[in-house]
Amino acid sequence: MQRLISQKQAINIMIVLLTVVLVFHMMVLIGAIPYAVVWAGKISSLQDMRRLEVISICLNSFAILVFVLKAGYIQQKIPAKILNTIIFLLAVFFSLNTVGNLFAKSSFDLYFFTPLTFILAVLCLRIVIDKRLK
């Protein structure tokens, strides 16, 4: 896989994809996209949607920050081992999310988010297997 896509390309793709996901969740939060298409179609109230969407926005923002730091776009002295551990945990999270999306009631979750979370998991693994960027 290292020859198909570089670590830097994988990081940049992650930043773009997570930014798109972040905007999507913001649009759900403001009501521009119906909340029935997210969270496996299991949200039953506006209050639940707001709580879950705020959590999702925070997690996606944190993940974007991790990848921006990993890419070196923001200069901080955070050890590579810490960033790689977080990225590995994100790979596990996206993998579990992929499995969960396979059982979603919402066909949008099933056909859009299942492949997306799978791609995000693979990209995370691609990033942590390369030791060049610290």
Per-residue DSSP letter, 43: -
Give the span between the Cα atoms of 57 and 29, in whole angstroms.
Answer: 9
Residue type, 68: V
Map out the domains of the chain as residue ranges.
Answer: 7-129
CA 97 to chain centre: 10
Extended beta strands in the chain, E state: none
Give the span between the Cα atoms of 82 and 35, in whole angstroms.
Answer: 34
- Are the C-beta atoms of 78 and 133 separated by less than 8 Å? no
- Are the C-beta atoms of 93 and 58 separated by less than 8 Å? no
Q: Tell me the pLDDT tens digit for each residue of 24-48.
A: 999 999 999 988 888 877 788 899 9
Q: Tell me the pLDDT tens digit for each residue of 59-94.
A: 999 999 999 999 999 988 899 999 999 999 999 999
Structure pTM? Answer: 0.89
Residue type, 72: G
Give the span between the Cα atoms of 100 and 26, in whole angstroms.
Answer: 22
Average pLDDT over residues 6-24: 96
Written as six digits, the tokens of 33 are 């996209």
